[in-house]
Amino acid sequence: MADKFDVIVIGAGPGGYVAAIRAAQLGLKTACVEKWIGKEEKKVVHGGTCLNVGCIPSKALLEASHKFVEAKHDFDDMGIQAGDVTMDVKKMMARKDKIVKNLTGGISGLFKANGVTAIDGTGKVTGAKQVEVTDLDGKATTYEADNIVIAAGSVPVEIPPTPMTEGLIVDSTGALEFEDVPKRLGVIGAGVIGLELGSVWSRLGSDVTVLEAMDSFLPMVDGAIAKETQKLLKKQGLDIQLGARVTGSEVKGKEVVVKYTDAKGEQELTFDRLIVCVGRKPYTKGVVADGVSVELDERGFIHVDDQCRTSVPSVFAIGDCVRGPMLAHKASEEGIMVADIIAGHKAEMNYDAIPSVIYTFPEVAWVGLTEEDAKAKGIEVKTGSFPFAASGRAMANNATEGQAKIIADAETDRVLGMHIVGQHAGEMIAQGVIALEFGSSAEDLALTCYAHPTMSEAVHEAALAVEGHAIHMANRKKRK
Partner 1 sequence: YGRIPAAPAVRRLLREHELTLDEVPGTGKQGRVLKDDVQRYLDAGGKA
Rule CB under 8 A: say whether 348 interacts with partner 1: yes
Q: Are strands 169-170 and 363-368 parallel, antiparallel or unpaired?
A: unpaired
Q: Pick the stretch among 87-95, 136-144, 423-431, 433-441 that binds partner 1 (CB under 8 A).
A: 433-441
The Cα 240–Cα 375 span in angstroms is 28
| 138 φψ region: left (φ > 0), alpha (ψ -120 to 50), beta (else) | left
Rule CB under 8 A: say whether 439 interacts with partner 1: yes
| Catalytically annotated residue among 46, 345, 452, 460 | 452
Known catalytic residue: 452? Answer: yes
* Alpha helical stretches, state H, 40-84: 48-53, 55-69
Rule CB under 8 A: say whether 452 interacts with partner 1: no
Rule CB under 8 A: say whether 409 interacts with partner 1: yes
Whether 80 has a binding-site annotation, put simply, is no
Q: How many residues bind partner 1 (CB under 8 A)?
A: 16
Rule CB under 8 A: say whether 308 interacts with partner 1: no
Rule CB under 8 A: say whether 118 interacts with partner 1: no
Rule CB under 8 A: say whether 380 interacts with partner 1: no
For partner 1, the closer CB: 226 or 369: 369
Q: Which amino acid is located at 114 in the chain?
A: N
The Cα 178–Cα 477 span in angstroms is 50
For partner 1, the closer CB: 18 or 176: 18
For partner 1, the closer CB: 242 or 341: 341
Whether 59 has a binding-site annotation, put simply, is yes
| 167 φψ region: left (φ > 0), alpha (ψ -120 to 50), beta (else) | left
Q: Are strands 154-156 and 280-282 parallel, antiparallel or unpaired?
A: antiparallel
Shortest Cβ 417–partner 1 spacing (Å) = 9
User: For residue 446, what are the contacts with CB-CB under 8 A and spacing of at least 6?
Assistant: 460, 463, 464, 466, 467, 469
User: For residue 220, what are the contacts with CB-CB under 8 A and spacing of at least 6?
Assistant: 356, 370
- Long-range CB contacts for residues 136-139, cutoff 8 Å, separation at least 24: 136/37, 136/44
Rule CB under 8 A: say whether 305 interacts with partner 1: no
For partner 1, the closer CB: 165 or 307: 307
With both helix axes pointing from N to C terminus, report the angle between 192-203 and 55-69 in degrees, rounded to the nearest 10.
Answer: 40
Rule CB under 8 A: say whether 438 interacts with partner 1: yes
User: For residue 76, what are the contacts with CB-CB under 8 A and spacing of at least 6?
Assistant: none
Rule CB under 8 A: say whether 416 interacts with partner 1: yes
Rule CB under 8 A: say whether 120 interacts with partner 1: no
Shortest Cβ 216–partner 1 spacing (Å) = 24
For partner 1, the closer CB: 45 or 416: 416
Mind giving me the DSSP string for 401-422? --EEEEEEETTT-BEEEEEEEE
| Among 369, 420, 428, 459, contact with partner 1 (rule: CB under 8 A) | 369
Rule CB under 8 A: say whether 252 interacts with partner 1: no
Structure-derived torsion over alpha carbons of residues 457, 461, 463, 467, reported in degrees to the nearest 10 = 170
Binding residues, as ranges, are 59, 123, 189-196, 212, 279, 320, 326-329
**Catalytic sites, residue numbers:** 452
Q: Which residue numbers belong to the known binding site for NAD(+)?
A: 189-196, 212, 279
Query: Which residues in this chain contact partner 1 in the complex, by CB under 8 A?
Result: 345-348, 350, 352, 369, 377, 379, 409, 414, 416, 437-440
